[in-house]
Amino acid sequence: MMRAMMMSNRIKPPGLPRPAMGRVRVRTLLLIRWLAIFGQLAALLVVDKLLAYDLPMFPAMVTIAASAAVNLWILARHGLSEWHHDRAAATYLAFDILQLAALLYLTGGLDNPFALLFLVPVTISATILSLRSTILLGLLALFCVSLLALFHLPLPWPAPGFELPQIYAAAIWVSLALGTLFLMFYAWRVAEETRRMADALAATQAHLSQERELSALGSLAAAAAHELGTPLGTIALITKELLHTQTPDSEAHADLEILNGEVARCREILASLARDPSAGADPAVSKMTFGALVTDMAARYGVADTTVLVTAKASIDPPLIKRSPELVQGLGNLIENATEFARTQVNLEFTWDEDQVELSISDDGPGFAANILGLLGDPYISTRPGSGRMGLGVFISKTLLERTGAHLHFFNRRQGMGATVVIRWPRHIIDLAENDSGFGTEAGRRLQQASQGEY
């Protein structure tokens, strides 16, 4: 099974929908149509009155009035802040295409330079509507263009009998058809990429928010453990004193022993909560050396059948970092992904110097698939279609780690011999000691010395 950047089994946000497509505000389409109405009206009046060309003004004005009537009808039915859904928006854009076709029929068909405006409704559809609606509108536009190439009133011209050569008229039809197809798919593709990126960023933000909520919950648990420790100690002390006043075979003695055991159990539970490294605001658990964080991540995400080896290579003091949700989530996802695809071993090798901090995550699995290696870090990249996964794992990890100042590089050591992710930070960004983050205090110095004793 080829390795893919598929960690979304762990981080897929339940119920996170894709952004709604085919939703456009009523105000937007009304404004576009009013602009078209005034533009068409101005063009007719200039050609008819100033240039003195003979135009079929009455049917042309009726055609423009029909467009104005549609706008007024929409205003009567909808508020400006409401939204058109896909079908309604496509219907109104289809009307715009037919209205433009009728106006061009009266004024020369494709010989009219304003035939280029057929591209506008299709482009609007490609940016906001579904691909199905866009294709249908594109076909409608091509149908109208083809009819206008064959049937239309003569182009108004001072000299009677003006007509473009057939080869030139055919070239206009080809240019409009190709322009419609190109803009339709190009604009839809660009808009779809924007929607996908916005969706992926929303998923990233949701996971980061979830991590922060869990961190806050850990702080609450640590505070509760601290506050409840004293009353539980008092209860335990009184229970022991009462035990001495009761005979061993009495019923009260048995009840007091049960109560004493339950108190001890409560204190163990609270102690385990207080030992959570993410809980509380104590610098000893919220700030640690980089090596301590990597070791903690390795222990957390290791699995029974995969060995996770941690190696440090440096000759100077390690950086002190903040155990932030971005680091925990980002590194945890990448390490878990490596253990998922490794055959027997994952290597976490970290090093640092005065300028840079680097972590290498490598495994002995099949490596990244060649067709996705250059796309790693983009959203919705998956080599497991139909698995129900979103393909956001590496994207979320990359986004979270880049928020901490990291740069990520993905490559295969050798084809079929394992994948490697290299993460690098400028030391002045990640090292709290260089950022004046409170390690100048006596307690901070003690923490730094204790942390450096391990690495």
pLDDT at position 247 is 81
Evaluate whether 321 touches 288 at the Cβ level (below 8 Å). yes
**Rounded distance between C-alpha atoms, residue 266 and residue 262, angstroms:** 6
Q: Is 24 left (phi over 0), alpha (psi -120 to 50) or beta?
A: beta
Mean pLDDT of 176-200: 79
**Rounded distance between C-alpha atoms, residue 229 and residue 80, angstroms:** 59
DSSP string, 325-394: HHHHHHHHHHHHHHHHH-SSEEEEEEEE-SSEEEEEEEESSS-B-HHHHTTTTSTT--S-TTSS--S-HH
Question: Reduced to 3 states, what is the DSSP secondary structure of residue 156?
Answer: coil
Segments making up each domain of the chain, as ranges: 8-206, 215-274, 283-454
Buried b (16+ CB within 10 A) or exposed e, 166-205: eeebeebbeebbebbeebbeebbeebeeebeeebbeebbe
**Choice between 323 and 106, residue whose per-residue pLDDT is larger:** 106
What tens digit of pLDDT does each residue of 79-104 get?
Answer: 887 888 888 888 999 999 999 999 99
Largest CA distance in the chain: 126
Mean pLDDT of 356-368: 87
Stated length of the chain = 455
Fold of 283-454: Heat Shock Protein 90 (3.30.565)
Q: Helix H segments across 246-282?
A: 251-274
Backbone angles phi, psi at 322, to 5 degrees: -90, 130
pLDDT at 70 over 90: yes
Nearest CA among 226, 206, 194, 455 for reference residue 319: 455
Tokens of 438: 């409170």
**Choice between 139 and 336, residue whose per-residue pLDDT is larger:** 139
pLDDT > 70 fraction of the chain, expressed in percent and rounded: 75
Tokens of 67: 């467009």
What tens digit of pLDDT does each residue of 20-48 get?
Answer: 455 688 888 899 899 999 999 998 999 88
pTM over 0.95: no
pLDDT at 388 over 50: no
The residue whose two tokens read 């301590």 is 292
The least confident of 51-60, 148-157, 169-178, 386-395 is 386-395
**Choice between 394 and 72, residue whose per-residue pLDDT is larger:** 72
Tokens of 174: 């080809």
Nearest CA among 274, 288, 275 for reference residue 447: 288
**Rounded distance between C-alpha atoms, residue 455 and residue 441, angstroms:** 21
Backbone angles phi, psi at 185, to 5 degrees: -80, -35
- With cut-offs at 50, 70 and 90, classify the pLDDT of residue 161: low
What tens digit of pLDDT does each residue of 284-301 get?
Answer: 456 788 888 888 888 877
Q: Helix H segments across 107-165?
A: 119-128, 131-150
